[in-house]
Structures are given as structure tokens and as C-alpha cells.
Structure 1
Amino acid sequence: MTTTTTATPPVRLGLRENWAQFTLLVVVNVCVGALVGLERTTVPLIGTDVFGLTSDLAVFSFIIAFGLTKALTNLAAGALTARFRRKQLLVTGWLIGVPVPFVLAYAPSWGWIVAANVLLGINQGLAWSMTVNMKIDLVGPARRGLATGLNEAAGYTAVGATALVTGYLGTAYGLRPVPELIGVVFVVAGLALALVVRDTAAHVALELAQHPKPLSSEENTGLAATFTRTSWRHRSLRGASQAGFVNNLNDGLTWGVFPLLFTDHGLGLAAVGLIKGLYPILWGIGQIPTGHLSDRIGRKPLIVSGMLVQAAGFVLALALLDRPLLAGILSAVALGIGTAMVYPTLIASISDHAHPAWRANALGTYRFWRDMGYAAGALVAGVLADTLGLNATVVAAAVLTAVSGLAAAYWIKDRPATTSVTIGPATTHGGSHK
């Protein structure tokens, strides 16, 4: 009697070769983004209207909690990949996120909202980090910009769509609990899909074996060495890390400030939801062409110009504030387009300059600094808004973003040209990027 065994398909790098798993991971990240999108429109107003908070810094405390927790989890996630498989961390992230929509919907005090954002930060740090890493693992070096663009597009389009929906639900049914309970669907779907997706350890091993630049014996792959290398010692990684930090600083600032600024100038919840939804939707959708474009023209042009476009978005918000809906929409468009130019390109730039042996730690370090920007943005916004007013806070965001763009222009060297790499039975062609 003969036993028939099914041959395991060969492991290959490439988007086309791994389209099924890649697509599944895109859908997972839709759920990741949608969960955090629950908070974009309603939570700052829950703080002021439901719990009676009068200090802007107190209102923005939920963003500080989210940003700090997500940043630290991002950093830990890179190190944890040395001990655990990416799929295990992805599933863990979703399990931790299960209570979030229920706490947002029924929290008896503001402290519960802040605590929910600690859980949300861990969920986002693990789940989003793993979807990024797994997509980069699958596609190999030649299509990193497109891969990160698709990943971030899925997540942030979901953020924007959920912010838009919660704005309309809040208008129809009140700030709680209906807008928050749609998050139950995202948690259930995200966890179910995370259990189905396959791990990418074999793809990482294959890229390591075929990498054109062998790991130097002096190249320390540990978290501490990679943290200092990514944060400061490596010029291009430093430039990308500071740009990511400021990018999310201004996002954290708009998260807290824009709902208060535009309601103060007469807009209703549905209009604020439109503004808060339009920004991440454009940010999300725009990352597909910008990520692909960065594979062709290089990372630096998109990073520098994108930061300057974001700065212009803050200027528009104030310059047209006597017509608040127009100001909000035009600002959202500029911020969305500018962020779409920057977001996937920065991740791809980090990946370009990091060896596969320490890439997960480099991405974790970058994402640590990037998401520390949420906490810094909320802290800066709270202090400035309480002392100088909301308008001064927006001016500060414009100046910081423009300065960051100029620093990126000075520090970042564009990615080294990729070379053709033979990967087992398939060949990945990187081509030269000038």
C-alpha cells in the first residue's frame, strides 16, 4: 500500500506569488484600522459633553495613553519576533483588543476610556506591526513601497470610513453606545482572519539566505544596537524616524484639536465626522499610488514634499476658518495627500536600509518613534490649547511639520539600488532606481 503525500509548494518571494496571503493580510489590516477609527470623531466630544471635562489636556489624555502604549508595543514587537512567530503576535494583539468597543460604549468614567486606549495601543502595536512585517516578508525587496502602500491604505481608509460612519451614527443615535458597538464586528472579523493567515517565517529565512549583502560580523542585530542605529547613528534611518515622529505628532494633534476647533466655529457632529473621515480616507487610498511611485522614483522626493504639503494643510485650516466647513475640507485634503506621500514611503525607506536580520527591530524602532508622536502631539496640543488657544496649537503644528520636512531633505539618502536576486525556483528582479 502506497501513501500519497502532498508536496509543499516552494516558498517564493513576490506579490504575485503570494497574492492570496497578501490579500488576507490586507483585509486583516482593514479591521485593525477600523477599530482605531471608532475614536476619531466621537471620543474627544465624549470627554467634554458626557464626562464634563474642561481641560483640553485632560480630554487629550486618551490619545497620550494610546500613543505611549502603541509606541512601546511597537518597540517590543520587533524584539518579540525573535522569540515568537508573527502569527502568534498578531492573534495576541486581537485578543487584547476584544474589550475595547465595549469599554468605549459603556465606560462609567473617563478613566475607563483612558484604560481602553491602553488596550487599544497594545492591539494596534502588535496587530498593525505584524501585518506590515508579514507583507514585507512576502513580497521581497523589489516591491516594498507597493506592499507598504497597500497595507497602510487598507488600514487608514478603514480609519477614515469608520470615523465618517461614527459621525453620522452619533448624530442619529447619540455619542454612545451605538457608534462604538460597530467595533465588535471588526474585533470578531480581525481575530477570525488572524487565526487563518499563515506565518511568514519561511519567507524571512529565504530572503536571509539570498540577501545580496551578507550580514557583517560586526553588525549587531540586537534591539539595543538597532535602536541606537535607527534612532541616530544611521543618517537615513535618523531622518526617517524623526519624520515619522512629526507626522504622527500632527496626526495626534488633529485627532484631539480638530473636533473641538470646528465645533467651536459652529459645525455639527456630522460635518466634523466628514472632515475627520476625509483626511484618513485620502491618506489611505493615496498610499497605493505613492507607495508604488516610491519604488520607481525613490523615497526622498515623496517624503520631503509630503511633509511640506502637510504643513500647508494646517495653514489652510486657519486661513479659511471664517468658513469652517471649507477650511476643514481643504485642510483634510492637504493633510490626507501629504500623509499619503510620506507614510508608506518612510516604512519602505527603513526597510531599504535595514538588513533582514535586524529589519524587524529597525521597523519596531521606527514605529516606536512614529507613534510616540501621537502622545507628543496630544501633550503639545493640550498644553498649548490650555495656555494659548486652539489656533496657536495649529500654527505650532505647521511650523514643526515644515522643519521636519527640511530635516528629512538634509539627512535622508535615497535607497540603494536593488539587484536581481535568485530566490529558489523563482527570481525577484529589483532593477536599478536612480
Structure 2
Amino acid sequence: MSTRRPMPAQPEAEPLRLGLRHNAAQFALLVAVNALVGGMLGQERTVLPLIGVREFGLQAYTAGLTFILAFGLAKAATNYLAGAWSDRFGRKPVLVAGWLVAVPVPLILIWAPSWGWVIAANVLLGVSQGLTWSTTVVMKIDLVGPARRGLAMGLNEAAGYGAVALTALATGFIAQAHGLRPAPFLLGIAFAALGLGLSALAVKETRGHARLEAATHATRVDARHQHLHDALTDREVFVQTSFREPALSSASQAGMVNNLNDGLAWGLFPVLFAAGGLSVARIGVLVALYPAVWGLGQLFTGALSDRWGRKWLIAAGMGLQALALAGMAAGDGFTVWALAAVALGLGTAMVYPTLLASIGDVAHPAWRARAVGTYRLCRDGGFAVGALLAGVVADAFGVRAAVWAVAAVTALSGLVVVVRMYETHGRARR
């Protein structure tokens, strides 16, 4: 007669549930991870344009902006792949892969013997940012479900760009005290180590949450959306998001212009401020002010878009960005530039999470990650477009003329949103 005791019953896995409250721990962890992603970008914002001029002797603006061109092209392409890979292989493997690519970036920037090495580092940074930032966006959308999507994107982007601002500010003061290299990039080494560790050991896969939402998703039946079913091919997702579907394509072009602005701010604002006689520390304050307001503002604007709707917040934000850029081009001195930076950050805060939320509103959960990837392909292609446009205009007519040109493009983009985009948020449509 056997005396073997029966095995204790294994606890059943807790069923998946959508919503911020039910997934608060993982959501907060992903917010922290995206802050580290932003820190990797922020390590360059103040210091790298000055390194190009002072250490490598770059005189042509177009040549000096090649690192942003390389970053933008790499990040845009990787954003698209990240969406497809997240649907195919899962979110977590893509996130971890992005951090592995990030590890050598600060080391290359510290030891780069020529500008070509800096460009190579920014290709790696673009790949890393495309994989990590895109995936944290998709994972948060997975977790919260449709009701709080704007709030989720506001928190995500606030963490990322708040970290960009803080790191840009810190590196400015570090560079003032210890030089442009290597001290500012030691922060990047720490960020990469923390991001990789948290992503590999603590972050959980969220693809199951997307499947849960897809199982209960009500496909739109009106004539405008009858083609947006759950079985679109990769090509169909790309075409709908980039060109055909009015809200998705309007968001994609607005996102591209928004990052065109950011590429201009990243590459030319430090040069403009230095030409105005400001110290590296004061340049760091101005460079940090714009993403700081951008980051903090998104804590409110994302949630407001859940209440007020997406379209008019986007259109108003693009208009405010255009006015701020005009003020930056026309003004002079620390105070005027600081006010313009605050306005530019506020306008960007109105636009950035709201665009992502509108993509999530329209895209079916079955192909939402691919839609987000396509949108981010278009949006971060703006870095490359901005580097080329700003560099060519600045070389021909000066830095201020480049800022004026981008202000005009931004105003036109806002007009496209007014004319072409419809309201995407369900409660606002009622």
C-alpha cells in the first residue's frame, strides 16, 4: 500500500485583466524603464553638437547634423521592425534586444577618435531607441486597455522626455566642470546597465493582454472603417497608417513634423545659443527646458485627451509649436529663448501622447503593434528630414532662417490635421 502523499495543488495563474489599476506594478516598472531609455537619448542633447564644433572642427551645419540624420534613419526603420517583431516574437524579447544594442553607445562616444565613430554610435542608438521605446509604448497600450490610453501614453512619454531633460541638464553642468568627454557619458553607461537588468529580470510579457482585448474588440462597422478588420497584412497596415486612413495618416504626418522640430532643436539650438555667447551650463539649462516642459506637460495632456478628445488638442499643439519656433528665431538672449522653449515644450506635450493614443484608438489590437511601428517609422523619419532641411537651409541662409522654415512647415502640418483628421476617441465622438 502506497504511503505517498498527494502533491499539493499548484496555485492557478491569476487571470489577465486590462486596466491601469490591475496592472499597476508592471506599468510603473515600464515607466521606469522608459525613463532610462530617455536618459540614453538625453546624454547627447547638450554635449554632442558642441563636440562636433569644438573637438572635430565641423563648420558646415549639414555635416554637423549627420549624427541626427543617422539616428533618425536607424530609429525610423527599427520602429517599423519593432512593431512587426513584437507581434511575431513577443514584446519582452524585443525590449531586451534593444538594451543589448544600447550598451556600447556611451563607450563609443567616450573614445570616438573621429566624427565617423560618433555617427556609428548614433546608428546603434537609433536602433536601440526604436526597439526599446516602441516596445514600452506597445506594452503600456496592451496593459491599460482602451479607456485610459491617453493617460498611459502621457505617463510613458513624460517619463521618457522628463529623463531626456534631466540628463541634458546634468550633462551640461558635468561638461562645464569636467569637459565634454568622458564624464557626461558615464551616465549613459549606468542607464544601459540598469535598463538591461530590469528588462531582462523584471519586465513581463504583455502580448496576452493584447490578445485578451482583441477577443472582445468590437470592429467598427461604419463605412469609413469597414476595411479596418483584424486580418490586415503588413503591407495593408503600412498603407493605411501612412497614407490612406484619414486619422492614422494625419497622425503620421503630424508625428513626422513634430520630430522634425525636435531634430532641429537637438542639432541647432545649442549652436544658436553658443553663438549668442551663452556658457555650456546655460546652454544645458535651455536645452533641458524644452523637453522638461514637454515631459511634465504630458502627465496632464494625455489624460485630457481621454476627456476632451484627440483632434483639437493635436491641432492646437501644432499651432503653438509653430509660434514658439517663430519666437526662437526672432528672439535673442537667455530669457526670450527660455520663454520660447517653454512654449515649444507645451505645444509638443499637447501633441505627442495624443498622436499615439489616436493610433491606438483606430488600430485593431491584432495589428496595433504594427500600426504603432509604422507611425513611429514616419514620426522618427522626421529626425532625418529635419536634419537635411535644417542643415541645408542653415548653410545657405543661417540658423535663424532654418528655424523660420521649420516653423512654417509646422503650421502647415497643423492645418492638415484640422482639414483631414476626424475625432478618434470614442467618448468624444458621442
What is the TM-score of this pair, normalised by structure 2?
A: 0.95
Shift of the 218–326 alpha-carbon distance from structure 1 to 2, 3 Å rule, reads: closer
- Does 2:93 match 1:88? yes
Q: 2:46 is matched with which residue: 35, 41, 49?
A: 41
Partner of 1:339: 348
Q: Residues 253-274 of structure 1, C-alpha deviation per residue, up to 9 Å, x if partnerless?
A: 1111111111111111111100
Q: Residues 341-370 of structure 1, C-alpha deviation per residue, up to 9 Å, x if partnerless?
A: 000000000111111111111111110010
Partner of 1:377: 386
Q: How far apart, CA to CA, are the structure 2 residues paired with 1:55 and 1:288?
A: 38
Q: How far apart, CA to CA, are the structure 2 residues paired with 1:389 and 1:416?
A: 42
Q: Determine if contact 1:320/1:326 at 8 Å carries over to the other structure.
A: no
Q: Percent identity?
A: 54
Q: 1:202 is matched with which residue: 193, 201, 208?
A: 208
Partner of 1:231: 242
Q: CA deviation at 1:416?
A: 4.7
Q: 2:314 is matched with which residue: 303, 306, 309?
A: 303
Partner of 2:117: 112
Q: Determine if contact 2:101/2:128 at 8 Å carries over to the other structure.
A: yes
Q: CA deviation at 1:170?
A: 0.7
1:8-407 matches, cutoff 5 A? 8-195=13-200, 196-213=202-219, 219=229, 220-321=231-332, 324-407=333-416
Say which SS state the counterpart of residue 413 (structure 1) adopts: coil
Gaps of 5+ in 1: 418-430
Gaps of 5+ in 2: none
Q: How far apart, CA to CA, are the structure 1 residues paired with 2:149 and 2:180?
A: 40
Q: Determine if contact 1:318/1:327 at 8 Å carries over to the other structure.
A: no
Number of residues of Structure 1 aligned to a counterpart in Structure 2: 419
Q: Determine if contact 1:295/1:433 at 8 Å carries over to the other structure.
A: no
Q: Residues 31-89 of structure 1, C-alpha deviation per residue, up to 9 Å, x if partnerless?
A: 00000101100101101100111111111000000000000000111111232110000
Q: How far apart, CA to CA, are the structure 2 residues paired with 1:405 and 1:170?
A: 37
Matched residue type, 1:100: V
Shift of the 327–96 alpha-carbon distance from structure 1 to 2, 3 Å rule, reads: same
Q: Residues 187-218 of structure 1, C-alpha deviation per residue, up to 9 Å, x if partnerless?
A: 01100110110000210110011112279798
Say which SS state the counterpart of residue 142 (structure 1) adopts: coil
Q: Residues 62-117 of structure 1, C-alpha deviation per residue, up to 9 Å, x if partnerless?
A: 00000000000001111112321100000000000000011111111110000000
Say which SS state the counterpart of residue 391 (structure 2) adopts: helix
Q: What RMSD in Å do the two structures reach over aligned CA positions?
A: 1.3
What is the TM-score of this pair, normalised by structure 1?
A: 0.94
Say which SS state the counterpart of residue 352 (structure 2) adopts: helix
Q: CA deviation at 1:381?
A: 1.0
Q: Determine if contact 2:78/2:127 at 8 Å carries over to the other structure.
A: yes
Q: Determine if contact 1:278/1:333 at 8 Å carries over to the other structure.
A: yes
Q: How far apart, CA to CA, are the structure 2 residues paired with 1:74 and 1:221?
A: 19
Matched residue type, 1:171: Q
Q: How far apart, CA to CA, are the structure 2 residues paired with 1:193 and 1:83?
A: 22
Q: Determine if contact 1:252/1:374 at 8 Å carries over to the other structure.
A: yes
Shift of the 243–111 alpha-carbon distance from structure 1 to 2, 3 Å rule, reads: same
Q: Determine if contact 1:256/1:378 at 8 Å carries over to the other structure.
A: yes
Say which SS state the counterpart of residue 38 (structure 1) adopts: helix
Q: How far apart, CA to CA, are the structure 2 residues paired with 1:79 and 1:135?
A: 17
Shift of the 299–4 alpha-carbon distance from structure 1 to 2, 3 Å rule, reads: same
